[in-house]
Amino acid sequence: MAASAYLLILLFFLSLHALHLAKSQPFIGVNYGQTADNLPPPSATAKLLQSTTIQKIRLYGTDPAIIKALANTGIEIVIGTGDVNGLASDPNFARSWVETNVVPYYPASKITLITVGNEVTMYGDRNLMLQLLPAMKNVQSALEVASLGGGKIKVSTVHTMSVLGQSDPPSAGVFEPGHADILKGLLEFNRENGSPFAVNPYPFFAYQTDPRPDTLAFCLFQPNPGRVDPNSKIKYMNMFDAQVDAVYSALNSMGFKDVEIMVAETGWPYKGDPDEAGTNIENARAYNKNLIAHLKSMAGTPLMPGKVIDTYLFALYDENLKPGKGSERAFGLFKPDLTMTYDIGLTKTANNQSSMAPQSPRQRLPPAASPTSQNLPSPPQMILPSPTSPSDKNSGQTDVHNSTPRSASLAHLCCSLSISTTMLFVSILYAFII
């Protein structure tokens, strides 16, 4: 009887957890870049975010107006700094930086992570890369002096996918040999302080190097034959999982598989230059909506089944002053007038869960060859995206038909059910028990 009562209580709390997930996505964040001259006031942005299920926001700097506007909203905030050399060379400068940019706002403004530098390895400046670790250590020490250490606010940096020397197939993921010594120190810091390894996977850029219809479906989480990793024999059904698992494999190869992975940026542009394949609203909506549905399923990735990774969508608004190709200025989920560029089900509604159903492709793909023996196609660097990703420069068996682990947990099951279905299940079980 005691065991039955325990099971009933467990199911009750799982139902509450499912209800919470229906109202918000605590693992979904958004990037808020400011390379623009037409952005709405921070107060309006704060209200906009509160009308959505977005629970995290990443800033590339420390704009006090934005940080203040987010006070008492419960929204978690990642702030950034690009002054790597200054923070590395002078502990007093790091303490002053924390006293100025963190202490006045915390805890009302829920700052959870500081990123020191952004995509530093992309520039090929080894001297700058070598400054990352001392800069991060000085910021961490400054947080501890301010009684904000011990996991209250963590410190890390953000990498592009080009930090990997190999990413295809995912099981063979390894870091670029020339960065290995630097990354080892950074990863030791991540492990010691419980901070994440932050990376920017962009299936969009992988598609640019291999713009075939089946690759597009693979990138957009749409029906496709899947691609088999010849080493692990795991069939991957989407590019996002393949890229993230390549990062996991690289971490594992260096002995750091226990370090959390954070997706600091990912997204799809809704328009671009004529030579940028797949840049339209339909694809942007499909990628972002299907990504959120995939994360909400709590399936994890084939090498990390059941693991939900904090993921920050790129981006909240377009940045109309960013240089580069047209796509660089077309990642915004919302317009400056606060209307949606396209709907991906982020607005808080009574039936938000149903709005997150995966976006089906508009056109059917031609019949494909039997997927059971299909391996990851050439070119071998297909999963590795271009190092010029958009950014603000200021182990388990899987079903061959999908990436969901065979041994889904009870919590996974309950969270996948609708709230009404879960409560009905609890009621029936209660009646059975008594």
Distance CA 16, CA 74 (A): 19
Distance CA 117, CA 264 (A): 13
**DSSP assignment letter at 323:** -
CA nearest 298: which of 310, 312, 311, 308? 308
For residue 424, report the phi and psi dihedrals to the nearest 5 degrees. -65, -40
**DSSP assignment letter at 157:** E
Does the annotation count 192 as an active-site position? no
Does the annotation count 265 as an active-site position? yes
**DSSP assignment letter at 75:** -
H or E stretch at 46: helix 42-50
Q: Which residues contact 135 (CB under 8 A, 6 or more apart)?
A: 84, 85, 87, 88, 94, 116, 117
In the set 76, 119, 276, 328, the catalytic residue is 119
Extract long-range pairs of 342-346: CB within 8 Å, 24+ residues apart.
342/270, 342/281, 342/284, 342/285, 343/285, 344/285, 344/288, 344/289, 344/292, 345/289, 345/292, 346/28, 346/52, 346/53, 346/54, 346/292
Q: What angle do CA 108, 109, 113 make, to 5 degrees?
A: 130
The token pair that represents 243 in the structure block: 């890229």
Burial of 234 (0-12, 13-18, 19+ CB in 10 A): buried
Instruction: Give Dmax over CA atoms of the chain in angstroms.
Output: 69
Q: What is the dihedral of CA 175, 181, 186, 191, to 10 degrees?
A: 80
In the set 76, 265, 276, 328, the catalytic residue is 265
Q: Is residue 250 within 8 Å of residue 175, measured between CB atoms?
A: yes
Rg of the Cα trace of the chain? 22
For residue 223, report the phi and psi dihedrals to the nearest 5 degrees. -55, 130
Residue with tokens 């080894």: 126
Q: Is residue 320 within 8 Å of residue 38, measured between CB atoms?
A: yes
Q: Is residue 195 within 8 Å of residue 143, measured between CB atoms?
A: no
Burial of 194 (0-12, 13-18, 19+ CB in 10 A): exposed
> Which residues are catalytically annotated?
119, 265
